[in-house]
Structure 1
Amino acid sequence: MHTPSSSRPAPAVGPTATITWVQPAGPGDGPTRRRTDLCEGESADFGRDRFSGAFKLGAQPLFGSFEVDDDRLMISNYTTSTTFVIENLEGGSELVKARPRHLRMSVPFEMSRIIIPAGMDVFEFTAFGPEPQMLDAEHAIDYGNVPLARLDTASKYFAVLVALCEPRLRGNSMAAVPSVQELVARLRGTDLFTLPSRSSINYHIDYLVEQKVPVTQWAKYGDDGRRHSKREALVAFAMRFDLVSEEHLDLLPRPA
């Protein structure tokens, strides 16, 4: 069986992953951003200093560790009850979780924010992982005839979709989905919408759901069984399958 070839990054001469964090202010100086670089086969433990309370690499007691192995950045969670949240810095609300006692979990994002709650504090690391392997372009399958690939980025319905996803695209994973009235205000005066109305915005939302985006039952219902609105379902699907990205924010006016 023929296996498509992939573009594998050249062997790293220097570090393949970088971890940064903010060191709290000390006597006579303010907070500073620190970093450590990891090469293939190296690891770094992190924890909370029992004296200063600072969260940093090498501190005791240990909370977890980072490790680079086989061109992957991995994280281990040594705690019994604390979940680490790993957010994609390039993907709006995309995240994964490293649950308690989970060892050597691959961090799936090139750039990520690791969020760790401890007591009444929340600590963060920023991680830059190894360059991923990519399939050679000549071996990639072209799904250009699939409707998902035929979203017209110059259309009104696509501008509505971008406006719906804007809060998540700007990095706020907890942002509420904009209401129809908020979409009217956000799109007013753009090249595509001189005088948008609630009925015109609703028309484009219905068109997206019925003709362009296969918002099936899995997207219409949350984990708690609550029925999502069409707007919520569209945002969930579009963000999950990368139908919109940060570069599409240029279709909208700059926020006031």
Structure 2
Amino acid sequence: MKILILITTFMASISIASQNKKVLFVLSAADTLELNSGQKKRQTGVFLNEFYLAYKSVVAHGYRVEFATPNGLISTIDEESINDKYWKNQIEVKNEALTFVKKDSAYNNPITLEKAIENESEYFGLLIPGGQGLMMDLMYDAYIPILLKQFAKDNRPTGLICHAPSLLIAIPMDENPYIGYKVNSVSPIEEFVIEKFIMKGKPTNRKIAKQLKKLGLKYKSGLPKANFAVKDRNLVTSQNPFSSSSFNRLYLQALEEY
């Protein structure tokens, strides 16, 4: 009986400990993507399943989430990401995600990136979902390199999904703590398909894999639409909207190790 009580108490303490740990989700607040040197504009934002499936996984394991965006603006969801083809057998989860972004208080009241930096010691991990929106705002935001370097300094779990690994390029080479790390992102073939057949135009900042390799990171990728992610120490990166289960498994592993 005493052993059972001890085990129950121990498991409860683990649950309480994880509930007291926060993961910072940094989201883009951009809603328009410029293509072909500004000659064409397209609706953009955060990719819904890349964001929500990661959020759902983290919360299911007892972590709390705080959202931060540039200037505290509410994130826009990329309309492309609502297409059923990105959800396969998870249509009910898609509807759950759409309800979440409409009604969740935390999502609709994000803090600023400046405030996130002030509070950074409170966060157990950092996670940035993908979507073309971040190529318009987070890529050029002065607070992003600061946040990435702060989390790297303490080896805190840092997850970057699909287009989000491009944010590593925003850190100058002589200050970049991730030089030499294995990294993944949207692959060159997938980038070509997105530009040619989905967006039908080229964004200003592109060829992410090439830029990562040029910076000194060891780029790895899976086949197009592969469920592929890479973990190197505290850094977890993934390739596309179909990589959620691989990313979530590795990111949770990073949280547990930390």
User: Which bracket does the TM-score occupy, shorter chain normalised?
Assistant: under 0.3
Give the greater-gyration-radius structure (CA): 1
The structure with more strand, counted as a fraction of residues: 1
Q: TM-score, normalised by structure 1?
A: 0.27
Query: Relative contact order (alpha carbons < 8 A, sep ≥ 6): 1 or 2 greater?
Result: 2
The structure with more helix, counted as a fraction of residues: 2
